[in-house]
Structure 1
Protein backbone atom coordinates (compact mmCIF):
# COMPACT_ATOMS: atom_id res chain seq x y z
CA UNK A 1 0.00 0.00 0.00
CA UNK A 2 1.21 3.48 -0.91
CA UNK A 3 1.56 6.30 1.61
CA UNK A 4 0.21 8.93 -0.79
CA UNK A 5 -1.87 11.74 0.67
CA UNK A 6 -4.11 11.67 -2.40
CA UNK A 7 -6.45 9.12 -0.80
CA UNK A 8 -6.68 10.78 2.64
CA UNK A 9 -10.23 11.67 3.67
CA UNK A 10 -10.86 14.73 5.82
CA UNK A 11 -14.41 15.18 7.13
CA UNK A 12 -15.40 18.33 9.04
CA UNK A 13 -18.59 19.53 10.64
CA UNK A 14 -19.45 22.75 12.47
CA UNK A 15 -22.16 22.75 15.13
CA UNK A 16 -25.18 24.86 14.04
CA UNK A 17 -23.63 25.56 10.62
CA UNK A 18 -22.79 22.17 9.05
CA UNK A 19 -24.35 19.61 11.41
CA UNK A 20 -23.41 16.69 9.17
CA UNK A 21 -19.72 16.36 8.33
CA UNK A 22 -18.59 17.55 4.91
CA UNK A 23 -15.75 15.98 2.96
CA UNK A 24 -13.05 18.58 2.36
CA UNK A 25 -11.70 18.44 -1.19
CA UNK A 26 -9.44 20.37 -3.54
CA UNK A 27 -6.25 20.39 -1.49
CA UNK A 28 -3.16 22.29 -2.62
CA UNK A 29 -0.52 20.41 -4.61
CA UNK A 30 2.20 20.07 -1.99
CA UNK A 31 0.36 21.06 1.17
CA UNK A 32 -2.97 19.40 1.98
CA UNK A 33 -3.05 19.69 5.76
CA UNK A 34 -0.59 19.80 8.62
CA UNK A 35 -0.48 19.94 12.40
CA UNK A 36 2.00 21.60 14.69
CA UNK A 37 4.05 19.55 17.13
CA UNK A 38 2.17 19.31 20.40
CA UNK A 39 3.97 20.26 23.59
CA UNK A 40 2.75 17.77 26.23
CA UNK A 41 5.12 18.54 29.06
CA UNK A 42 6.43 21.45 31.03
CA UNK A 43 9.74 21.38 32.88
CA UNK A 44 11.41 23.64 35.39
CA UNK A 45 14.94 23.46 36.73
CA UNK A 46 15.34 24.25 40.41
CA UNK A 47 18.19 26.42 41.63
CA UNK A 48 19.75 23.28 43.15
CA UNK A 49 19.96 21.62 39.71
CA UNK A 50 17.01 19.21 39.98
CA UNK A 51 14.63 19.09 37.05
CA UNK A 52 10.89 18.78 37.66
CA UNK A 53 8.31 18.11 35.00
CA UNK A 54 4.64 17.61 34.48
CA UNK A 55 2.04 16.83 31.88
CA UNK A 56 0.09 19.77 30.42
CA UNK A 57 -2.76 19.92 27.94
CA UNK A 58 -2.16 22.05 24.86
CA UNK A 59 -4.32 22.63 21.80
CA UNK A 60 -3.43 21.27 18.35
CA UNK A 61 -3.22 23.80 15.51
CA UNK A 62 -4.08 22.39 12.10
CA UNK A 63 -3.54 24.11 8.76
CA UNK A 64 -5.73 23.12 5.81
CA UNK A 65 -4.53 24.42 2.45
CA UNK A 66 -7.00 24.46 -0.44
CA UNK A 67 -6.59 25.38 -4.10
CA UNK A 68 -8.20 28.69 -5.04
CA UNK A 69 -10.93 26.87 -6.97
CA UNK A 70 -11.62 24.20 -4.33
CA UNK A 71 -15.33 23.71 -3.70
CA UNK A 72 -14.48 23.32 0.00
CA UNK A 73 -13.48 26.98 0.35
CA UNK A 74 -17.26 27.59 0.55
CA UNK A 75 -17.31 25.50 3.75
CA UNK A 76 -14.75 27.78 5.43
CA UNK A 77 -16.21 31.00 4.00
CA UNK A 78 -19.68 30.03 5.29
CA UNK A 79 -18.25 29.16 8.72
CA UNK A 80 -16.36 32.47 8.99
CA UNK A 81 -19.33 34.48 7.75
CA UNK A 82 -21.71 32.78 10.20
CA UNK A 83 -19.37 33.80 13.04
CA UNK A 84 -19.26 37.39 11.80
CA UNK A 85 -23.06 37.51 11.86
CA UNK A 86 -23.41 36.20 15.43
CA UNK A 87 -20.14 37.80 16.64
CA UNK A 88 -19.28 34.60 18.43
CA UNK A 89 -17.54 31.28 17.76
CA UNK A 90 -18.92 27.97 16.51
CA UNK A 91 -17.13 24.73 17.34
CA UNK A 92 -16.10 22.11 14.82
CA UNK A 93 -15.57 18.36 14.91
CA UNK A 94 -14.00 16.02 12.40
CA UNK A 95 -12.13 12.91 11.36
CA UNK A 96 -9.18 12.15 9.14
CA UNK A 97 -8.67 8.73 7.56
CA UNK A 98 -5.18 8.08 6.19
CA UNK A 99 -5.64 5.09 3.91
CA UNK A 100 -1.90 4.63 3.40
CA UNK A 101 -1.37 3.95 7.10
CA UNK A 102 -4.82 2.57 7.87
CA UNK A 103 -5.16 5.11 10.71
CA UNK A 104 -8.05 7.33 11.63
CA UNK A 105 -7.99 10.39 13.89
CA UNK A 106 -10.85 12.11 15.69
CA UNK A 107 -10.77 15.87 16.23
CA UNK A 108 -12.89 17.54 18.89
CA UNK A 109 -13.89 21.09 19.77
CA UNK A 110 -12.15 23.04 17.04
CA UNK A 111 -12.21 26.78 16.54
CA UNK A 112 -11.54 28.54 13.22
CA UNK A 113 -8.54 30.74 14.00
CA UNK A 114 -7.59 32.15 10.60
CA UNK A 115 -9.29 32.32 7.22
CA UNK A 116 -7.91 34.30 4.28
CA UNK A 117 -10.71 36.35 2.72
CA UNK A 118 -9.59 35.59 -0.85
CA UNK A 119 -6.76 33.88 -2.70
CA UNK A 120 -3.60 35.83 -3.46
CA UNK A 121 -3.52 36.78 -7.16
CA UNK A 122 -0.20 35.99 -8.84
CA UNK A 123 0.30 34.34 -12.29
CA UNK A 124 -2.44 32.02 -11.11
CA UNK A 125 -4.63 32.33 -8.03
CA UNK A 126 -2.81 30.93 -5.01
CA UNK A 127 -4.02 28.36 -2.46
CA UNK A 128 -5.73 29.56 0.73
CA UNK A 129 -4.61 28.24 4.13
CA UNK A 130 -7.20 27.97 6.91
CA UNK A 131 -6.25 27.27 10.54
CA UNK A 132 -8.32 25.35 13.07
CA UNK A 133 -7.24 25.00 16.69
CA UNK A 134 -8.45 21.68 18.19
CA UNK A 135 -8.92 20.75 21.82
CA UNK A 136 -7.94 17.16 20.99
CA UNK A 137 -6.71 15.14 18.00
CA UNK A 138 -6.58 11.47 18.96
CA UNK A 139 -6.25 8.12 17.17
CA UNK A 140 -9.68 6.59 16.66
CA UNK A 141 -10.74 3.00 15.93
CA UNK A 142 -11.04 2.22 12.21
Structure 2
Protein backbone atom coordinates (compact mmCIF):
# COMPACT_ATOMS: atom_id res chain seq x y z
CA UNK A 1 0.00 0.00 0.00
CA UNK A 2 1.33 3.46 -0.87
CA UNK A 3 1.15 6.65 1.13
CA UNK A 4 -0.43 8.65 -1.69
CA UNK A 5 -2.78 11.45 -0.68
CA UNK A 6 -4.93 10.82 -3.74
CA UNK A 7 -7.14 8.44 -1.77
CA UNK A 8 -7.58 10.63 1.33
CA UNK A 9 -11.22 11.16 2.27
CA UNK A 10 -12.28 14.44 3.88
CA UNK A 11 -15.85 14.80 5.12
CA UNK A 12 -17.13 18.10 6.59
CA UNK A 13 -20.43 19.13 8.08
CA UNK A 14 -21.65 22.46 9.44
CA UNK A 15 -24.20 22.39 12.25
CA UNK A 16 -27.57 23.93 11.20
CA UNK A 17 -26.33 24.48 7.64
CA UNK A 18 -24.93 21.17 6.31
CA UNK A 19 -25.90 18.72 9.09
CA UNK A 20 -25.03 15.74 6.88
CA UNK A 21 -21.25 15.63 6.27
CA UNK A 22 -20.25 16.48 2.72
CA UNK A 23 -17.46 14.76 0.77
CA UNK A 24 -14.89 17.43 -0.08
CA UNK A 25 -13.34 16.87 -3.50
CA UNK A 26 -11.45 18.63 -6.27
CA UNK A 27 -8.29 19.26 -4.27
CA UNK A 28 -5.32 21.23 -5.57
CA UNK A 29 -2.70 19.12 -7.33
CA UNK A 30 0.10 19.61 -4.83
CA UNK A 31 -1.80 20.63 -1.71
CA UNK A 32 -4.88 18.87 -0.33
CA UNK A 33 -4.73 20.26 3.17
CA UNK A 34 -2.18 21.30 5.73
CA UNK A 35 -2.19 21.66 9.49
CA UNK A 36 0.10 23.69 11.67
CA UNK A 37 2.08 22.12 14.46
CA UNK A 38 0.06 22.34 17.66
CA UNK A 39 1.75 23.87 20.69
CA UNK A 40 0.79 21.83 23.75
CA UNK A 41 3.22 23.29 26.26
CA UNK A 42 4.16 26.62 27.71
CA UNK A 43 7.42 27.24 29.53
CA UNK A 44 8.82 30.03 31.65
CA UNK A 45 12.34 30.47 32.96
CA UNK A 46 12.57 31.74 36.49
CA UNK A 47 15.00 34.45 37.49
CA UNK A 48 17.00 31.78 39.36
CA UNK A 49 17.52 29.77 36.15
CA UNK A 50 14.95 27.02 36.71
CA UNK A 51 12.60 26.20 33.86
CA UNK A 52 8.94 25.50 34.58
CA UNK A 53 6.39 24.18 32.13
CA UNK A 54 2.79 23.26 31.78
CA UNK A 55 0.29 21.78 29.37
CA UNK A 56 -1.93 24.20 27.42
CA UNK A 57 -4.73 23.74 24.92
CA UNK A 58 -4.48 25.46 21.55
CA UNK A 59 -6.66 25.28 18.46
CA UNK A 60 -5.56 23.37 15.36
CA UNK A 61 -5.25 25.49 12.21
CA UNK A 62 -6.03 23.75 8.91
CA UNK A 63 -5.92 25.00 5.34
CA UNK A 64 -7.88 23.18 2.62
CA UNK A 65 -6.81 23.86 -0.98
CA UNK A 66 -9.32 23.34 -3.77
CA UNK A 67 -8.90 23.64 -7.52
CA UNK A 68 -10.67 26.64 -9.05
CA UNK A 69 -13.29 24.32 -10.58
CA UNK A 70 -13.78 22.12 -7.50
CA UNK A 71 -17.44 21.26 -6.89
CA UNK A 72 -16.71 21.55 -3.15
CA UNK A 73 -15.93 25.27 -3.44
CA UNK A 74 -19.72 25.79 -3.41
CA UNK A 75 -19.83 24.22 0.09
CA UNK A 76 -17.36 26.78 1.44
CA UNK A 77 -18.97 29.66 -0.49
CA UNK A 78 -22.39 28.78 0.94
CA UNK A 79 -20.93 28.54 4.44
CA UNK A 80 -19.19 31.93 4.19
CA UNK A 81 -22.23 33.60 2.64
CA UNK A 82 -24.58 32.19 5.30
CA UNK A 83 -22.34 33.67 8.00
CA UNK A 84 -22.44 37.05 6.28
CA UNK A 85 -26.24 36.91 6.30
CA UNK A 86 -26.63 35.92 9.96
CA UNK A 87 -23.57 37.91 11.08
CA UNK A 88 -22.56 35.04 13.29
CA UNK A 89 -20.49 31.85 13.13
CA UNK A 90 -21.53 28.29 12.37
CA UNK A 91 -19.56 25.42 13.87
CA UNK A 92 -18.20 22.58 11.79
CA UNK A 93 -17.28 18.95 12.39
CA UNK A 94 -15.51 16.45 10.21
CA UNK A 95 -13.35 13.42 9.62
CA UNK A 96 -10.27 12.64 7.59
CA UNK A 97 -9.51 9.07 6.53
CA UNK A 98 -5.99 8.40 5.25
CA UNK A 99 -6.09 5.08 3.43
CA UNK A 100 -2.31 4.93 3.06
CA UNK A 101 -1.81 4.86 6.83
CA UNK A 102 -5.14 3.28 7.73
CA UNK A 103 -5.81 6.15 10.16
CA UNK A 104 -8.86 8.29 10.73
CA UNK A 105 -9.07 11.63 12.53
CA UNK A 106 -12.08 13.35 14.07
CA UNK A 107 -12.29 17.14 13.97
CA UNK A 108 -14.59 18.92 16.41
CA UNK A 109 -15.93 22.44 16.84
CA UNK A 110 -14.38 24.10 13.83
CA UNK A 111 -14.76 27.61 12.51
CA UNK A 112 -14.23 28.97 9.01
CA UNK A 113 -11.56 31.64 9.51
CA UNK A 114 -10.87 32.81 5.96
CA UNK A 115 -12.30 32.11 2.53
CA UNK A 116 -11.06 33.55 -0.77
CA UNK A 117 -13.94 35.16 -2.66
CA UNK A 118 -12.67 33.92 -6.04
CA UNK A 119 -9.65 32.13 -7.50
CA UNK A 120 -6.59 34.13 -8.49
CA UNK A 121 -6.26 34.34 -12.28
CA UNK A 122 -2.83 33.55 -13.75
CA UNK A 123 -2.19 31.42 -16.90
CA UNK A 124 -4.81 29.15 -15.38
CA UNK A 125 -7.12 29.82 -12.46
CA UNK A 126 -5.33 29.11 -9.19
CA UNK A 127 -6.47 26.95 -6.26
CA UNK A 128 -8.45 28.56 -3.44
CA UNK A 129 -7.30 27.96 0.14
CA UNK A 130 -9.94 27.89 2.87
CA UNK A 131 -8.69 28.19 6.46
CA UNK A 132 -10.39 26.54 9.40
CA UNK A 133 -9.60 26.44 13.09
CA UNK A 134 -10.55 23.34 15.12
CA UNK A 135 -10.99 22.93 18.85
CA UNK A 136 -9.68 19.35 18.59
CA UNK A 137 -8.27 16.99 15.95
CA UNK A 138 -7.86 13.53 17.43
CA UNK A 139 -7.26 10.00 16.15
CA UNK A 140 -10.55 8.13 15.77
CA UNK A 141 -11.34 4.42 15.47
CA UNK A 142 -11.46 3.17 11.88
Structure 2 length as normaliser, TM-score? 1.00
Match of residue 82 from structure 2 = 82
| 1:85-137 deviation per Cα after TM superposition (whole angstroms, max 9, x unaligned) | 00000000000000000000000000000000000011100000000000000
1:54 partner SS:
strand
Match of residue 104 from structure 1 = 104
**Deviation of the 1:35 alpha carbon:** 0.3
Match of residue 9 from structure 1 = 9
What is the alpha-carbon root mean square deviation over aligned residues?
Answer: 0.3
Structure 1 length as normaliser, TM-score? 1.00
Q: Which runs of 4+ in 1 moved over 2 A?
A: none
Segments of structure 1 that go 5 or more residues without pairing to the other structure are: none
Segments of structure 2 that go 5 or more residues without pairing to the other structure are: none
Q: How many aligned positions are there?
A: 142
CA distance in 2, matches of 1:89, 1:113: 10
Match of residue 62 from structure 2 = 62
CA distance in 1, matches of 2:121, 2:16: 33
CA distance in 1, matches of 2:5, 2:121: 26
CA distance in 2, matches of 1:119, 1:7: 25
Match of residue 44 from structure 1 = 44
CA distance in 1, matches of 2:80, 2:17: 10
